[in-house]
Structure 1
Amino acid sequence: MTEIGITVAICTRNRAALLGRCLEALARADKPANPFEVVVVANACSDDTLEVARGFAGRLQIVVEEEPIPGVSLARNRLLGLVRGRWIVWIDDDAMARSDLLTAYERAITTSPSCAIFGGTILPVLEGNPPAWLLDGLHVVENAYAAHRPEAPTTFGDPGSNVPFGANYAMRSDVQRAFTFDPRLGRRPEDPMWGGEETMSIRGALAAGHQGRWVPDAVVDHIIGPERQTEEWLWRYYHADGRLWSPDKGKSLSRWFKAVRAYFRYRRARHRAAPAEWLALLVRAASLAGRAGVRPEL
Structure 2
Amino acid sequence: MIITVVFSTHNGAGTLPAMLAKFRELTMPPGTELQIVAVDNNSSDATGDILRTASADLPLTAIRHGERGKNRALNAALPLARGELVIFTDDDVLPDPNWLVALQRAAAENPGFDIFGGHIIPHWPSPPPRWITEQTPLGITYALTASHLPAGEIFPGLIWGPNMMVRRSVFDAGLRFNEAIGPSSGQYIMGSETEFNLRAHRNGHRCYFAPDAKVQHIIRPGQMSKQWVVQRAYRFGRNAWNQYVSGAEKFNGPTLLGMPRWRFRSYLDHACRALLLRLRNRADDAFAHDWEKSFLRGYFAQWWQTRRSQPLPTATAK
TM-score range, shorter chain: 0.7 to 0.9
Which residue matches 1:75?
73
Given the alignment, which residue of 19, 25, 28 partners 2:22? 25
Q: SS of the residue aligned with 1:221? A: strand
How far does residue 191 in structure 1 lie from its aligned partner after superposition? 2.5
Query: Of 158, 163, 167, which aligns to 1:168?
Result: 163
- Equivalent pair of 2:121/2:145 in contact (CA under 8 Å): yes
Secondary structure of the corresponding residue to residue 233 of structure 1 = helix
- Confirm or deny that 1:7 pairs with 2:15: no
For structure 2, the residue ranges without an aligned partner over 5 or more in a row are 246-255, 303-318
Kindly indicate whether residue 261 of structure 2 is the aligned counterpart of residue 265 of structure 1: no
Distance of 1:21 and 1:138 partners within structure 2? 30
For residue 190 of structure 2, give the secondary structure of its aligned residue in structure 1. coil
The alpha-carbon deviation at position 290 of structure 1 amounts to 1.8
1:280 corresponds to 2:288: yes
Deviations 1:163-218 (A, max 9, x none): 300111100123035221111101111335x3222111111111111122110010
Residues of 2 paired with 1:243 and 1:266: CA distance?
A: 22
The whole-number CA distance in structure 1 between the counterparts of 2:96 and 2:84 is 22
Counterpart of 1:226 (choices 221, 224, 229) is: 221
Range 108-117 or range 164-173, more displaced? 108-117
| Partners of 1:175 and 1:283 in 2: CA distance | 35
Q: Aligned-pair distance for 1:56?
A: 1.6
State the match for 1:202 in structure 2.
Answer: 197
- TM-score (normalizing by structure 1): 0.86
Letter in 2 for 1:197: S
- Where in structure 2 are the equivalents of 1:122-271 lying within 5 Å? 122-128=120-126, 130-135=128-133, 137=134, 140-149=137-146, 151-156=149-154, 162-177=157-172, 178-192=174-188, 194-246=189-241, 247=244, 258-270=266-278
Q: Pick from 90, 93, 99 the counterpart of residue 91 of structure 2.
A: 93
Q: Is the 8 A contact 1:40 1:63 kept in 2?
A: yes
Partners of 1:151 and 1:221 in 2: CA distance: 16
Instruction: Name the counterpart of 2:252.
Output: none
Task: Report how far residue 250 of structure 1 moved.
Answer: 7.8
Secondary structure of the 2:64 match is: strand
Q: TM-score, normalised by structure 2?
A: 0.81
**CA distance in structure 1 between the partners assigned to 2:258 and 2:238 by the alignment:** 11
One-letter identity of the residue aligned with 1:12: T
SS for the counterpart of 2:39 is strand
Measured after TM superposition, the shift of residue 123 of structure 1 is 0.9
Give the aligned partner of residue 297 of structure 2.
289
Task: Select the residue among 30, 39, 42 that pairs with 2:40.
Answer: 42
Does the Cα contact within 8 Å between 1:251 and 1:292 map onto a contact in 2? no
1:279 deviates by 3.6
Q: Residue 280 of structure 1: CA displacement?
A: 2.8
Q: Which amino acid aligns with 2:297?
A: A
Contact 1:44–1:70 under 8 Å retained in 2 = yes
Give aligned-pair identity as a percent: 26
CA RMSD of aligned residues (A): 2.5
**Bigger CA drift: 225-234 or 277-286?**
277-286
Aligned-residue offset at 1:253: 11
**Paired residues, what number?**
285
**Aligned residue type for 1:29:** L
Contact 1:265–1:281, Cα closer than 8 Å, also in 2:
yes
